[in-house]
Amino acid sequence: MKKYIAIVGSNSKLSTNRRLLEYMKKRYKDDVEIELVEVAGLPIFKKTVEMTVPQQAKDMAEKITAADGVIIATPEYDHAIPAILSSALAWLSYGIQPLLDKPVLITGASFGNLGASRAQAQLRQILDSPEIKARVMPSSEFLLSNSLKAFNNDGFLIDETQAKWLDSLFVDFDEFIDISAQLNHTHDDDAAKMSSFSWDEGSNSGEVK
């Protein structure tokens, strides 16, 4: 059985993105093991001379490395991902590379009608950056709009059309992981380049900016 790490991209205790991931954990429990991981509690990203990474981020990195795939659920604030999620991804690329070539499925829930579509587009760009280089499943975003009304009292999606859509994406993600396992010929070279990457390259002062 595959194991996925599901990152809750919000620090809200009432996050509907967390509810979405909890729904997925219950719905697919017979097919895959899903562990939810919180970004809440992480400090805002800041470079240091020692390149110190918080223990919470290190623990997240270990779980991501050991997982077959990653699911990220993001809300949308002002057409962007939350600062806490951006900060978490920065920590996860600061001298460590747990997301390198890791298959990722992007999901998102929002209170409005757009279903976090613009935040998901931004998240895709960040995950594709040279410092992260995750392998995001193409054309696969799950956009859950009007999320406050999307779940019943048992935590299941009310709209059966949305549930079937997510089911199909989930099957595709399983196959995407299998295909991705065959596309890692440059993994070692990429890892070597990333391990020697300097965030302050070109600076002669040695000052941490």
pLDDT string in tens for the chain (209-residue length): 999 999 999 999 999 999 999 999 999 999 999 999 999 999 999 998 888 999 999 999 999 999 999 999 999 888 899 999 999 999 999 999 999 999 999 999 988 877 788 999 999 999 999 999 999 999 888 999 899 999 999 999 999 999 999 999 999 999 999 999 998 877 777 777 777 666 565 444 344 44
Residue found under tokens 């579509």 = 117
- To the question of pTM greater than 0.85 for the whole model, the response is yes
Strand (E) or helix (H) holding 85: helix 83-91
Which DSSP symbol is given to 80? B
pLDDT on residue 185:
78
Q: Provide, for the chain, the percentages of residues in helix, strand and coil under a 3-state DSSP scheme, each rounded to the nearest 5.
A: 35, 15, 45
Contact assessment for residue 106 and residue 74, using Cβ atoms and an 8 Å cutoff: yes
Cα 161 from Cα 199, distance rounded (Å): 45
What pLDDT does 151 receive?
97
Domains of the chain: 2-195 (3.40.50.360)
SS3 for 172-209 is HHHHHHHHHCCCCCCHHHHHHHHHCCCCCCCCCCCCCC
Instruction: Please give the single-letter amino acid code of residue 39.
Output: V
DSSP string, 138-175: TT--EEE-SGGGSB-TTS-BS-HHHHHHHHHHHHHHHH
pLDDT value of residue 74? 95
Tally of CB atoms within 10 A around 147: 21
